[in-house]
Structure 1
Amino acid sequence: MDKQLFKKIAKSYDYPLILAIFMLCIFGLIMIYSSSMISAVVRFGFESDYFYQKQKVWLMIGTFVFFCMMIIPYKVFAKKKWVLTVFFGMPIVLFAVFIAGHTANNATSWFKFGSFNVQPAEFVKLGLINYLAAVFANKQKSLSQSDKRHVFPIYYTLFICVLIAVQPDFGTAMIILLICFSMIVSSGIRLKLLFKQILFLSMIVAILSPFWLPVLGDEIFSKERMSRIDGFLDPFKYADDAGFHLVNSYLAIGSGGLKGLGLGESIQKYGYLPEAHTDFIMSIIAEELGVFGVSFVIILLSFIVLRGLMIAKKCKDAFGSLLAIGVSAMIGIQTCINLGGIAGLIPITGVPLPLVSYGGSSLLLLMASLGMLVNISMFVKYEENYKGKAETTNLVKNSQKRGLTF
């Protein structure tokens, strides 16, 4: 690649977006140490920086993955061979979890490699985003027609969600369903066809309920899940049981006020608020850094989501546009569910806060997804700044010489 072309590519990267991503990652690392230092020693018997050190390793791996995805042309992931690999790979990996997976918190959702746990369902999010973007991009010319062939990706998505739900991991399955629904609606498919399928599936579920309810009913309506509903509806009535998490989340948020108690000065992390470094990290941020800390996180996450949607709007390529929508929807939906849970607006589902909460699988997935988003942004900006066809052709040719075929 000649120097002039390299400079033009370098200028086309979305540096505000990259900065926002790494600001959140570094801030999250600091808050993971602050929120987990007590529980690491008292609850788990580890060193005070145990979770911080593990997350730091994941962040280094994630940073490497991010830069790899940032420089690989996103259209590589639209190739038929890759899409077929993703298509067959996702159910195989999810079936493998049932055979060789690690069980934690009554769910078989993990592969355990030494001291590291990997959750395949997290990477299935990106796999489905990739698959749906490729499929609907290829169907753009016929999506306006009521062709029944368009419904196969919908049923495949439901099949993957069912495999995740029976682990059981209903929270992740629901998030994936919402992400995919946002992509399907944005793809250009006829809404009449989509809602016909939703109605048809609802009828099938209702008709077959006498058969599946005896098998799955106890799991879906388990005592633990129903207690979460009780804790959500009246947390102070069940403050010693189902509402314990939410009541202490309220106390943390209320204690912080405008400026917070100060970094490292949280009281709720002293065993009062379980999972302070994962699901409830925003409660600790509110307690220690107040409204300013919460606003900092929400503004940066909102910026990333809105930037992603803007990239999707500007991208002339259907595959790139749908990819950007999927990644933006993933971050936006997870953020809303996490914040809604700690604020008592929705039942607690155990969804981490993107880029901030502790969790290696989640961080690695997000860094890969955002690296892809930055790459899409680079191509969009390159076309805007250097509209000449010769320039774009040179960029494609140089990429192809290095095996990155479009």
Structure 2
Amino acid sequence: MSYRSQFFDKLLSQIRVKEAREQVRLEMSHHIEKSKQALLQKGLTELEAENKAIRQLGDPIILGTEMNKLHKPIFDWKLLSLFGIAIMISFLPFYMMEAVYLPLFKQLIAIFIGIGIIFAGMHLDYRKLQRYGLIFYGLGIGLLFFVYSSGIFTYQVAGNTYMRTPIFAGVDSSITLPILLLAFASITSKKYPMWKLTALCVLPIMLFCSASSYVNAMIYTVMSFCMIAWSVRGHKKSMLQIAGVFTASIIALLFAVAHSARGQRLVGFFINKSNFEAFNYIPTQISKLLNDAPLFGMPRIENYSVLPDIQTNFVLVLLTHQLGWISFAIILFILYGLLGRMLWMKSKVKDAFGEQLIIGGCMLYGVPLTYNVLMILGLLPISGVWLPLISYGTMVNWIYAFIIGLVLSVFRRKSYLMKSIKSE
């Protein structure tokens, strides 16, 4: 074994992160070659010059230890802190409800599993997922078509479709959203013709609608078109095409929902206010509770039987009614702060696949967040849209844990990718 190989074996054995090892090897090789050329000009032979250049670097064990400290992966504590605060807020409704509506132990177990999902996603090398884009797409389409659209393996509660599973209850079509996120992050990071991107985008919308999953159809539509728009940014013709298809998809979605109870609420809310009276009970109850909310309050036990889904879709009403409008503003600051942090992290990433993962994740988080807030303020019609991380539930919050894990995976590897891009 050559002296150079021995040096690198000892040096790289001190560095834990695989990507960092390759980066250190490139940096040290460049430094050795530079020193070697200077020594060759002084009359040394090639072997003597190389060995002396390597010795000038010092003890490989000490150097490797220092390089390991320097090349530690980036761990974003700010994003995790915001996630942790949001999760702590989600436990407040357990104290505020008069009866024990919510199984606390189940929620605790779900939170611990969610934390595990975050750390598993963070340590996963997200780049390995890029090659499986079409497989993820096929899996998402398969679930939507054979499970939710067919109705064979599902049941309905209050107009919502759920999968029959022996382990988890209440698994709706939102489980396909992170799968389609992975699919479109891969697809849009490659060079696909616009007609193919459009076709791949529109098919899931049709399947969501056939499964009566209109909320998930809305979230998916915004996510997929934002990802496609980002992939074709700078191309005016493509941007106009995608804008036209997006508009057509929204119109088609509205037509699809028109004959359902949700459609009648939409018509009543935006067009025919007299028709809206039949659906005015929940908005009236929300308005009463928010009008009674103090500027700043303290948690107390009350009966909220007048408003269904108070622990899920309308949990922000509960928190505002008890903790006050200042707390409402603080909660929104935390939730939108998490969204802003992810967008900031996206701005630091130069890898196309990583960018698309973060953009899609931001849409899956930001769309229901914004709709839920505007809904309880009376600016949008009532629908089954949850408040991310705070609404009671397991599967949806696991989805967000997976998204945060992916974002952290992209961000912690950004420095290695940026150096690789520069070296190329």
Tell me if both proteins adopt one fold, taking TM over 0.5 as the criterion. yes
Three-state SS of the structure 2 residue aligned to 1:130 is: helix
Which of these residues, 203, 213, 216, is aligned with residue 159 of structure 1? 203
Which of these residues, 277, 282, 285, is aligned with residue 248 of structure 1? 285
> Match for residue 404 of structure 1?
none
Letter in 1 for 2:225: F
Task: Give the Å deviation of 1:271.
Answer: 0.9
Alpha-carbon contact 1:236-1:243 (below 8 Å) kept: no
Is 1:21 the counterpart of 2:74? The answer is no
Q: Over residues 329-379 of structure 1, what are the superposed CA-to-partner deviations in whole Å (9 max), with x where a residue is unaligned?
A: 221111110011111101112110010001212101100011111121212
Q: How many residues align?
A: 358
Alpha-carbon contact 2:133-2:185 (below 8 Å) kept: no
Alpha-carbon contact 2:268-2:274 (below 8 Å) kept: no
Alpha-carbon contact 2:162-2:170 (below 8 Å) kept: no
In structure 2, the CA distance between the partners of 1:222 and 1:57, relative to structure 1 (3 Å rule), is same
User: Please, which runs of 5 or more residues in structure 2 have no aligned partner?
Assistant: 1-13, 17-64
- Distance in structure 1 (CA, Å) of the matches to 2:167 and 2:115: 22
User: Which moved further from structure 2: 6-15 or 361-370?
Assistant: 6-15
Is 1:60 the counterpart of 2:94? The answer is no
- Distance in structure 2 (CA, Å) of the matches to 1:19 and 1:186: 29
Alpha-carbon contact 2:107-2:393 (below 8 Å) kept: yes
Is 1:104 the counterpart of 2:157? The answer is yes
Is 1:264 the counterpart of 2:300? The answer is yes
CA RMSD of aligned residues (A): 3.4
Structure with higher RCO (Cα < 8 A, 6+ apart): 1
Task: Give the Å deviation of 1:96.
Answer: 3.0
User: Which moved further from structure 2: 272-281 or 4-13?
Assistant: 4-13
Task: Give the Å deviation of 1:300.
Answer: 1.3
- Distance in structure 1 (CA, Å) of the matches to 2:102 and 2:248: 50
Is 1:326 the counterpart of 2:364? The answer is no
User: Please, which runs of 5 or more residues in structure 1 have no aligned partner?
Assistant: 42-47, 144-148, 394-406
In structure 2, the CA distance between the partners of 1:368 and 1:287, relative to structure 1 (3 Å rule), is same
Alpha-carbon contact 2:136-2:179 (below 8 Å) kept: yes
- Distance in structure 2 (CA, Å) of the matches to 1:300 and 1:10: 28
Task: Give the Å deviation of 1:274.
Answer: 1.1
- Distance in structure 1 (CA, Å) of the matches to 2:196 and 2:157: 33
Which has more radius of gyration? 2
Task: Give the Å deviation of 1:228.
Answer: 5.3
Letter in 2 for 1:53: F
Task: Give the Å deviation of 1:275.
Answer: 0.7
- Distance in structure 2 (CA, Å) of the matches to 1:66 and 1:8: 24
> Match for residue 184 of structure 1?
228
Which of these residues, 140, 143, 146, is aligned with residue 90 of structure 1? 140
**% identical equivalent positions:** 20
- Distance in structure 2 (CA, Å) of the matches to 1:25 and 1:89: 30
Q: Over residues 368-403 of structure 1, what are the superposed CA-to-partner deviations in whole Å (9 max), with x where a residue is unaligned?
A: 0111111212123x459xx8669x99xxxxxxxxxx
- Distance in structure 1 (CA, Å) of the matches to 2:187 and 2:156: 34
Runs of 4+ in 1 over 4 A off after TM superposition: 3-11, 197-206, 231-239, 387-390
